[in-house]
Amino acid sequence: MADILLGLKEFSITFFFILYYWIQAIILAFIPSSWRAKDVAGETVLVTGAGSGIGRLIALRFARLGCRLVLWDVNDKGNEETAKQIKALGAYVKTYKIDLSNRDDIYSVAAKTKEEAGDIDILVNNAGIVTGKKFLECSDNMIQKTFEVNTLAHFWTCKAFLPGMMERNHGHIVTIASSAGYLGVNGLSDYCASKFAAVGFDESMRFELEMMGKEVKTTVICPFYINTGMFDGAKTRWPFILPILEPEDTVNKIVDAVLCNQHIVMLPKSLYFFMALKGVVPTKVLALICLYFGASNSMDDFKGRQKKIE
Ligand SMILES: NC(=O)c1ccc[n+]([C@@H]2O[C@H](COP(=O)([O-])OP(=O)(O)OC[C@H]3O[C@@H](n4cnc5c(N)ncnc54)[C@H](O)[C@@H]3O)[C@@H](O)[C@H]2O)c1
């Protein structure tokens, strides 16, 4: 009898909180993000892959919010250009050349960063690479490097900076993944797998941190193609449903989500519908939907970045 009562109590509490969080999510959806945003002024933000694309724009947006910036990139020239733009805003900035496919490099640059720039409050794992070829055309080297940069680097940066965040009971880990981290795409096998892993890492870590009662937040970003050059040539069939995203607008949404401690962000919002659909339709229906909406042919004319980034 006591067991039944205990079971009923647990069920009621769980049910209450399910309702509570549903209502909370619905109410929050109607409250402008600017009303819910946390103040990050004075916090130190580390952005990987800050030398171009959305990494640069994320760094600039945090600088405008009064943050101190640490920029990591293998591309020195691009990273220095980002730093120059941040200095022009009057913000603190420090740059480090790093190869994120090398674990030893990550640990040694992380130690140097902590010594020179202090503790990291917000870690943005943004750097990424793409092969953009059919599976059998992907070299072993590129497959390995894709996982090292897009996935494993997240493990090593978190190992380096999470203990400090946990000790201070304050911090935020941001994973720039992709919609390809939820849905496999024809011609992106290594990239998709690396991003699925990054999404899984974020989710698992979020549960782990929540169960420990830690005030370290996580946000995972899953955008469709963004017009940065990385995916040049990739196309969409229904631009009003699945548009190629503009970098500035995408970055504003990314940073707003971080400021509101949002867990998962899909861009554009229509992706939430496709992801929900994936869970309920038969796989052959899913394949048909992917074909109809152009996802299955989106990489057919992929060229990737043609110009060296600066
Ligand atoms: N562009 C898109 O269409 C798109 C879509 C969804 C997700 N994303 C993701 O967003 C992130 C940023 O993409 P982007 O479009 O700004 O690309 P980008 O190519 O403009 O920027 C990537 C940055 O990462 C750096 N980088 C690459 N390998 C590195 C290494 N080994 N060590 C250190 N730095 C390294 C590059 O030098 C570059 O500055 C990536 O993780 C990407 O997978 C991009």
Domains of the chain: 37-297 (3.40.50.720)
Tens digit of pLDDT for each residue in 174-196?
Answer: 999 999 999 999 999 999 999 99
Tens digit of pLDDT for each residue in 21-75?
Answer: 999 988 988 888 888 899 999 999 999 999 999 999 999 999 999 999 999 999 9
Instruction: Say if ligand 1 is within 6 A of residue 176 CB.
Output: yes
Determine how β-strand 216-223 pairs with β-strand 44-48. unpaired
- Dihedral, CA of residue 181, residue 242, residue 290 and residue 263, to nearest 10: 30
CA atoms of 173 and 161, how far apart (whole Å): 9
Average pLDDT over all residues of the chain: 95
Tens digit of pLDDT for each residue in 217-249?
Answer: 999 999 999 999 999 999 999 999 999 999 999
Instruction: Say if ligand 1 is within 6 A of residue 251 CB.
Output: no
DSSP helix/strand/coil, 233: coil
| Ligand 1 geometric centre to CA of 85 (Å) | 19
Tens digit of pLDDT for each residue in 266-303?
Answer: 999 999 999 999 999 999 999 999 999 999 999 999 99
Q: Residue 155 above 70 pLDDT? A: yes
The one catalytic residue in 20, 21, 107, 191 is 191
Identify whether 191 is a catalytic site residue.
yes
| Contact yes or no for 304/233 (Cβ under 8 A) | yes
CA atoms of 259 and 217, how far apart (whole Å): 10
Instruction: Say if ligand 1 is within 6 A of residue 80 CB.
Output: no
DSSP-derived letter for residue 297 is G
- The angle that helices 270-280 and 283-292 make with each other, rounded to 10 degrees, is 150
Residue 308 tokens read as 């060296």
